[in-house]
Structure 1
Amino acid sequence: MSCCKSCLHIDGARFNSLNLTQASSSFTQDEIIQLGTFLSEIPDHCQEAIITLLIRQLLNLYQYHLMTLYHAIEGIQIALAILLKHTPNDHKKISYHYYHLANTYKRIRHCKEAAECFIKAIEMARLSNEIDEEYVDMLETDLRTIK
């Protein structure tokens, strides 16, 4: 399921079945949504064991994971700015960096930004003589999965 087509629905029944309603009463709505997002990415048979962990520690771990993704985005953007300024004709390397940036945006469900980066990666790949059509096809497929 693509990141834009999927939607997080945290219903009371799901939280009640996981005993999260009472345990999460001190959490903000954003924290509850983050926890639900995290759990939705884990197979059902593993969720019960994970929920037995201290919920605050689990949420802190997930927030740390998100921060690493945001730092990755920042680092890739800096690298892209340097590449675009100093080696604007290295289309292959620029395309790869846009591809990595798109995947990182996709991971945090920023679909619009991911799509923009996939489009830029495709444009750069087409400007390069070194990148084969399989790579461009892969980029186009990834772009279609988030639209």
Structure 2
Amino acid sequence: MGCCESSSDNGLSTSYNLNASSLLTPDETILFKQILNGIPLHCQQPIINLPRRQFLGIYRYHMIASYHFRRMEFQLAILYQFKAISGLQALLLEHKDHFIFIEMYSTLATCLSVTDAVSAAIEGHQMALDMLLKHTPTDYQAISSQYYGLATCYLGGQAWGQGIQHLRKGIETARLSNELNQQDIQMMEITLHLWTAKLMNGVLMSMDDVLAPTRSQNQQNMESQITPETNADNIICGTSSINQTEVEHLPDKQTELLANDEIPKDVVQNLES
């Protein structure tokens, strides 16, 4: 995910060495620095303060989720993304809306939308949007992307008014960016015109506010997407442990962390409804 305030490695080594970096292997050290470099400088300290090995052990679930997402194995991506989110929230008790969760919730929302869990997908996109507005309010492209994600979810759930409203916000936000992506804007404008015309012509029935459950309800909705079939697939597909075939699809710097690493058999017990 792009960030208008992404950090560089300059000045990182001092604060990094304060927290037992010697306990990490060279590859782990490289990976940890890569993760930090994807986080705005003003958001790095809570991550720097975490136990390194424990953090990387949990973060690997996000990497595995990304692997399954690339393979369009969305139920498994949901499963592992939840493991990453719940694990990091337990570590970041005072920073549960930390920047690091933005990509996780965004990917999770996309997977939930694809699997027709529209209400839960809306909550995921909304959480990612709220975190972007808090941490990087001038990252207009990323913010516009979340508005568009929300719009497609609302339209998919037949909440036409809310969908059109979020499309307009997405277009307005995208136009604020110094790096305008005209194709993206045109796509949103065409979508907006299409749905507005349908609504004006009476083709669609307005169903505003039909998709607005509470956050706790949405959390249950998201968790419910981890089905028994998903857990069974996790075993059948060999993803209950990280094998070499899976590792070959991951970035080189992540290989050392993932090879032959056993994933707990009690799959996300705290996330099951």
TM category (shorter chain) comes to 0.5 to 0.7
Specify the alignment match of 2:184 in structure 1.
Answer: 135
Matches of 2:178 and 2:186, distance apart in 1: 15
Matches within 5 A, 1:53-132: 68-132=117-181
Give the match's secondary structure for 1:127. Answer: coil
**TM-score, normalization: structure 2?**
0.29
Measure how far apart 1:130 and its partner are.
Answer: 1.7
Q: Mark the runs of 5 or more structure 2 residues left unpaired by the alignment.
A: 1-114, 197-273
Measure how far apart 1:145 and its partner are.
Answer: 1.1
More helix, by proportion: 1
**TM-score, normalization: structure 1?**
0.53
Count of aligned residue pairs for this structure pair: 82
Measure how far apart 1:83 and its partner are.
Answer: 0.5
The letter of the residue matching 1:100 is G
Matches of 1:141 and 1:69, distance apart in 2: 22
Q: Deviations along 1:90-120, whole A, 9 cap, x unmatched?
A: 0000000101110011101111000111001
Matches of 1:100 and 1:134, distance apart in 2: 16
Aligned-pair identity (%)? 40
The letter of the residue matching 1:82 is M
Matches of 2:126 and 2:194, distance apart in 1: 23
Matches of 1:95 and 1:140, distance apart in 2: 13
Q: Mark the runs of 5 or more structure 1 residues left unpaired by the alignment.
A: 1-64
Matches of 2:149 and 2:179, distance apart in 1: 18
Matches of 2:162 and 2:123, distance apart in 1: 13
Matches of 1:131 and 1:76, distance apart in 2: 22
Matches of 2:189 and 2:135, distance apart in 1: 27
